[in-house]
Amino acid sequence: MTSRARALVCLLALSAACSARAGNGGGGGTPDPDASTDVTMTVDASDDTATQPDAPVSPDAPAMDAPAQPDVPATPDAPTQPDAPPPIDMPGTPDVPVTPDVPVTPDVPVTPDVPVTPDVPVTPDVPVTPDVPVTPDVPTSTDVPSVPPTSDDRIWVLRVGDGATALAATAAPVAIEMYNGNTGSSLGAAITVPTTTSGSNLGLTITGNASAEGSLFRALAGNYVVFGGYNAAPGSATPNSTSVPRVIARVNSAGIVDTRTNVGSTASGLAMRSVVTVDGTEFWSAHALVSVASLIYKPYGPTPTGTAISSGQVFRVLSMSGARLLASMSAPEGSGVYSLAPLPRAAGPMFTQLPGFPAGMTGSPYGVVAFDRDGNGQPDVIFVADDRTPASGGGLQYWRLSGSTWTQLTITQTELTNGLRALTGRVNGSNYVFFATTTESRARLLRIDLNVSTATASFTTLATAPANTTYRGVAYAPN
């Protein structure tokens, strides 16, 4: 028995003795002071006397066996907590490091596949632009020499002369005046073409009284207006028959004049009449003097020297229709419009007269505008500016292709009393709008509206050249 159990037994015995004593003492009174001694003795004797077994108290005490409390140590069973060790598995959290699997992100480096962008360098295919020199195709809309939208009739006209000195067979300065082709209002100060050389840009003038010089042409790509002249100081005598450099000018939409292209000695001694281009990177120019003439091909820039394509054909004004050169000429072999295709870049090819135009020097053609109305890539309508009076067969001529032959249609143009030289235009539905210069000493800039159904042309004067000047070429403004 444990010390705790013994103490409990003694306590119970002492309690029993007190109860017995109280029973012996009767109904009250002051307890015997010695009773405590007796009791003490009784308790002490509990281990020696046999009276204790008589005290049934002990059997009850077995309730003391309640020391079953030691069973309580069942709490050690609670160590079922150790069963809980599953949480020990919780260290599964280290399993969570599945995140290291997330390093799937290294797979994400699929982004290196994204460098498909290097495939994007398909842009090098874009250099299809070099195919653009297919510019011959550019003029799919031959409906213009770079046909502009109807609402964009911005017109440029070349003015020759300084307004102080009368025009003569001497070099004269030039400028480009700009007009609204619908209202005739000015679109700002004229573009002045430098007459002196500055760096790689050459000075440019033209002959004051040479009616076939100074034609303008808008590139088929629409980015430049081009024309030709001489690197001769104003006032220089007969620049068209001397050995001064023949210069090609190209002007952009901002009015910047670039005169770096020198034709070279190929055209020495020949008048610089007309220039055309697809996009300003290469040019074809017509040169002539009396019966000597040459068509010259020249890439942009001071070099190389131009290449003579053909000679002997005295052209006045060049034009283009897709990959085809057109030219006006009045010569013993025929008058009217001549054609050469494809665009030549080496010596050899010659122009041929379009069938249907008259033989002999029966006309006096200048400006030429061609249209492809049926969309087959070939011109089927051509208009010609003739510097004879309308009464003599001049003014605006209308030619249409019928089968394989060109036929002239009659136009009523009673409002016009003078001949025409420069010409440009566009379609206007089934009709046409043109801009032209007249043959007067102080030429006028005209707008011409042609109604095809009535074959009637109406004329509106937009501007008149100032005193001691005149107008030569006309073209739509570049884009």
| Residue matched to tokens 């034709």 | 263
Tens of pLDDT, residue by residue over 210-222, are 999 999 999 999 9
CA atoms within 13 A on the CB side of 149: 3
A 10 A CB-CB count for 14 gives 15
Q: How far apart are CA 206 and CA 234, in angstroms?
A: 9
In this prediction, residue 14 carries a pLDDT of 53
Determine the pLDDT at residue 151. 58
What pLDDT, in 10s, does the model give residues 171-207? 999 999 999 999 999 999 999 999 999 999 999 999 9
Q: What is the CATH number of domain 131-476?
A: 2.120.10.80
- The ranges of the chain with pLDDT < 50 are 17-146, 149
Beta strands 246-251; 225-230: pairing state? antiparallel
DSSP per-residue codes, 172-183: E-EEEEEEETTT
- Whether 418 and 438 have beta carbons less than 8 Å apart is answered as yes
Tokens of 364: 């006096």
Measure the CA–CA gap between 315 and 339, rounded to whole angstroms: 11
pLDDT of residue 251: 98
- Asked if 160 contacts 472 with a C-beta cutoff of 8 angstroms, the reply is yes
- 206 touches 230 (CB < 8 A): yes
**458 membership: H or E segment, kind and range:** strand 456-464
> How is the chain split into domains, by residue range?
1-19+34-69, 131-476
* CB contact set of 81 (below 8 Å; sequence gap of 6+): none
Assign 196 to helix, strand or coil.
Answer: coil
What was the pLDDT predicted at 414? 94
